[in-house]
Structure 1
Amino acid sequence: MNRIPSLTAAAVLLALALPFAAGAQEQTAKKKLYCWNEGGRKVCGDALPATAVDSARTEISSRSGLPVGQVGRALTPEERIAADQAARAARSAAMAEEAKKRRDHAMAESYSTEEELRNSFQERIILLDETVKASRLGIEGRRQTLLSLLRKAGEAELGNKPVDKSLADNIRHQHDELLRQQDLLKQQLVERSLADEDLATALLRYQSMRKRPGQG
């Protein structure tokens, strides 16, 4: 009669103890050991001191004794700045590559033949040629005006007369404008040369995208 309650009590105690035992085993399995360098020597422990929080370290399972992770040291402010710059550069490069893919796709969809693509670029090239031509004519006209004003100033000086202030101001203005137009022409010539390069690059991309699978 008394054995039944005793067995029942033992079963109850065992049932209550099992979750605690399982929890303890789980905590043991999750517990880690840490190894780091301190003063030129390797130090290991089950907790990181404040002085080692920013140090590189290896995390080891206390159950298996095998490494389970590697944590690098904390970056210096300069290294963080460099890492941020590298990350931004990588994002920018990825965005540029994605934009290029979209442009290539749009180009392939917009032009059904190479001739259409050439004609589209040719319109831009013709416009650039006309712009360069107009700039050269403007520069030549500005140069002739400046020479005329300089002759007037020279004649005044040869006649022992003072150069009129309005004439001197006009000479400076014409000279500044001539320099500005010459700089503008240089930029236009660069754009004109790039237009040919852009056309060649676009044709290569177009031919590559239009090439059928299996063709060499």
Structure 2
Amino acid sequence: MSKLHPLFATALLAMLGSHALAQNAPSKKLYCWTENGRKVCGDALPAEAVDSARTEISAKSGLATGRVDRAPSADERSAAAAQAELDRQAALAKEARLRREMAMVESYASEAELRRAYEHRISLSAGTVKASRMSVAALRQSLLTLLRRAGESELAGKPVARPLAENIRAQHGELLRQQGMLVQQQREAGEIEGEFGDALARYRALKTPATPASNGG
């Protein structure tokens, strides 16, 4: 078996070692990013470009090896956090609604019981609206009477008495307050009726067992 000359063997080992190191060494990258509206490339990323969108390119092949999106701004991070909180609240609301639906199924033995419960609420709400309408009508009539007295005083060339003027202001303020209450009560009455329709549909869906799919053939 032939032997290599010591000097030749040493050179060969050095060449093989350097080739292995070159293969195992990490490939050098180039970076390209946009700076002041123009494209900039380099083998090192400056500190001011760390948060910028950039393309990473292999220095050996010249091909793009990846892309890094720009870091979100403070406003974008705040918006993302706000959206995440909204999503969390929506998930909690959904869980609460599911618990209410299951409690509703367990609370009412029949659809008739559910209907009676809502009819009672609807009846109470309608009674409240009716009473508020009567109160608003009475206040309006009382205010018209006071305004008529004030108008008669002015037509007679007399100043409107201070107690009368204060009473008119007080009656007008109370009328506005009760009109606002009436609007709110009417809205709530409509919401109860809509809630009853939704609750009835959910009750039927939860109470009705799922029909197994029939096998063909």
Return the TM-score normalized by structure 2: 0.71
The 5-angstrom pairing of residues 66-105 of structure 1 reads 71-105=68-102
- Which whole-Å CA distance do the structure 1 matches of 2:117 and 2:153 have between them? 55
Q: Which has the higher helix share?
A: 1
- Which whole-Å CA distance do the structure 2 matches of 1:29 and 1:105 have between them? 63
SS at match of 2:209: coil
Q: Cα–Cα, structure 1 residues 152 and 35, in superposed 2: closer, same or farther, change >3 Å?
A: same
- Which whole-Å CA distance do the structure 2 matches of 1:122 and 1:170 have between them? 41
Q: 1:155 aligns with which of 148, 152, 156?
A: 152
Q: Figure out how many residues of one structure are paired with residues of the other and give that number.
A: 191
Whether contact under 8 Å (1:36, 1:55) holds in the other structure is no
Partner of 1:171: 168
- Which whole-Å CA distance do the structure 2 matches of 1:29 and 1:123 have between them? 81
Partner of 1:116: 113
Partner of 1:37: 33
Structure 2 stretches lacking a partner, 5+ long: 1-20, 58-63
Deviations 1:128-148 (A, max 9, x none): 111011101111111221122
1:142 aligns with 2:134: no
Q: Cα–Cα, structure 1 residues 106 and 59, in superposed 2: closer, same or farther, change >3 Å?
A: farther
What is the one-letter code of the residue matched to 1:183?
A: G
Deviations 1:161-202 (A, max 9, x none): 221100011011111211221121111111111111100011
How far off its partner does 1:57 sit? 5.5
Partner of 1:191: 188
SS at match of 2:33: strand
SS at match of 1:91: helix
Structure 1 stretches lacking a partner, 5+ long: 1-24, 61-66
Return the TM-score normalized by structure 1: 0.71
Whether contact under 8 Å (2:32, 2:56) holds in the other structure is no
1:181 aligns with 2:178: yes
- Which whole-Å CA distance do the structure 1 matches of 2:111 and 2:30 have between them? 64
Q: Cα–Cα, structure 1 residues 123 and 30, in superposed 2: closer, same or farther, change >3 Å?
A: farther
What is the one-letter code of the residue matched to 2:115?
A: R
Whether contact under 8 Å (1:104, 1:206) holds in the other structure is yes
